[in-house]
Chain A
Amino acid sequence: MKLKTFGLVALCAGLCFSVTACNPTFQCGNWVFTGTPVGNAFPLTSSFTFNPAGCGQSCPESQDVMIQMTWVYDDNTHTNIYASNQPQGARSTPNGWNIDRIDGAAHGYYGLQNNGTFYSGWNTPGGPGVATTLDDEPGGWGANTYFYAVDVAVCYNSSSCNNKILGYYFWSYILDSSDVGQKFITAPAWQNLDSEFQAALTAWNNWAPTSGTEVDGTGTFPHAIAFPALSDL
């Protein structure tokens, strides 16, 4: 009798876990992703509109911006590849994910220039009810390349809810065997990617003091700037 009850409880627990496991990552707002590959490039916009009330929060006058991490895979050589020397090694996670910034940028926030302003061609800041929009156009990668990215909306320089993560979004595209871009999957991110993102922040922060001078044409820093601790709202 006891065994039968135990079996029933275990079955319920298993069923319960498979049905209710919180697989998607935290989201406190809505994502809108648009983009169509052109040749081997993928011009796109990724927008997030923060809805604090939707997750029982109030973040008056907060500003949110984007951080992007990427992972690019060459299916010919079965390895991950990079656009420059900087992200490989210390700036990447052990799995090869890295914060997507060009060499010379001192800040890890996707659109933040060294002079402290956001370049509108890369990221327009948003706020509650106002979308923050990331613009990207990856391109030039060779045939049989898989390009994966996770966009993360975070409160930045805000009087409330500062350094809180508001949501995660996954997008990807593939260069086929003729080096023609094909849209792959774009969807809310899932768990494990949020911990990979934390690992990418850690890698950036460990690397930053050793980066050497960062010059982007708008300002100069003796080395890259570490992120503050960022956590889900």
Chain B
Amino acid sequence: MKRFTIVAASLLACLCLAGCARKEKTVPLTDEQNQVKTRLEGQMQAAAQTAQSYHAMDNSVLLGKLLEESKAQREPFNSLAYRELKTRSGVDSKALAALVKDNPNASGLLPLLLLRKLDNKSYLELPAELRAKVLTDALGSSKFFNTWGLPNFYLEDASNAMIEAGRSATPALKKMLSDTRPAPLFGSQEAMLSKQMKYRLCDYALFFLKRIGGTGDFRLPQTVEERDALVKTAQK
């Protein structure tokens, strides 16, 4: 009888302690919830391990990875090497500049942007024509435009670099005015807005040309027709 009382009291105490003072139902997770919970936890662990493995690499190895990821057109914020290197001091500016000079096209984008972030003086010492070549090549070969941001909403570092490159970028940008291929963004709200705005490569080119031309507060018109009219004028 005594034992029964102890067990009953334990059960009652357990029910209270198990968080059931709350008002919600206390049902265990379904198999489906458990399955995704396990997968998600495993992936979170894998992501942490990957970041740790990059953290353990020395600068020269990371610069090699950076170039690989640049050639693969990874966005700066999705390049593991870029993420790691931007947090470090002592990254060799000359090595970064050499990567840009050896890759004077879209492949040089990540080293170029990293140099701009870590050592702006050395970045500005690169010829403006070289910076413009890397940036315009990268813009022209973009499949998704997250690297550049979404004009009228936000600009990423690459867009600010393009505007800084100034008139050196103008000839290549003018050529892009006739390219009407879509310029989508991946993401959540980014993807929805880019779908809504229907920007094309020529719209990005127009935006940069206007900003470089001195219209610092230029905003792209909402409709394709209005933008087309401005593109026509800019082509003259």
Contacts and interface: CB of A to CB of B under 8 A. Distances in A.
A binds B: yes
Interface of A: 5, 8-9, 12-13, 16-24, 26-28, 41, 55-56, 68, 70-71, 73-75, 77-86, 88, 95-96, 100-105, 121-122, 136-142, 146, 148-149, 170, 172, 184-185, 187-188, 190, 192, 215-217
Contact of A84 (B15, B47, B190, B196): B190
A79 B80 contact: yes
Nearest to B37: A190
B36 A24 contact: no
A24 B156 CA distance: 39
Given A20-B18, A77-B50, A140-B184, A41 B191 contact: yes
B224 interface: no
A22 B185 contact: no
A138 B14 contact: no
Nearest to A81: B78
Contact of A172 (B10, B36, B50): B36
A137 B154 contact: no
Q: What is the predominant secondary structure among interface residues of chain B facing chain A?
A: helix
Contacts of B3: 5, 8
B5 to A, nearest CB: 10
A95 B51 CA distance: 11
B116 interface: no
B188 interface: yes
A233 to B, nearest CB: 9
Interface hub of B15, B40, B48, B146 (most chain A Cβ within 10 A):
B40
B18 A23 contact: no
Contact of B77 (A74, A82, A217): A82
Contact of A140 (B30, B76, B78, B191): B191
B214 interface: no
B73 to A, nearest CB: 11
Given A83-B188, A138-B191, A102 B77 contact: no
Given A136-B188, A139-B187, 12 more contacts: A8-B3, A16-B11, A16-B15, A22-B24, A22-B26, A24-B33, A55-B23, A79-B51, A102-B193, A185-B33, A187-B32, A215-B153
A78 B50 contact: yes
A84 B149 contact: yes
Contacts of B83: 88
B157 interface: yes
Nearest to B222: A217
Contacts of B25: 24
26 contacts: A5-B7, A18-B28, A20-B18, A23-B28, A55-B23, A77-B80, A78-B49, A78-B50, A81-B78, A82-B78, A84-B190, A85-B77, A85-B156, A88-B77, A102-B193, A103-B153, A104-B154, A138-B191, A139-B187, A146-B39, A148-B40, A170-B36, A172-B36, A185-B33, A190-B33, A192-B37
A19 B25 CA distance: 12
B154 A102 contact: yes
B232 interface: no
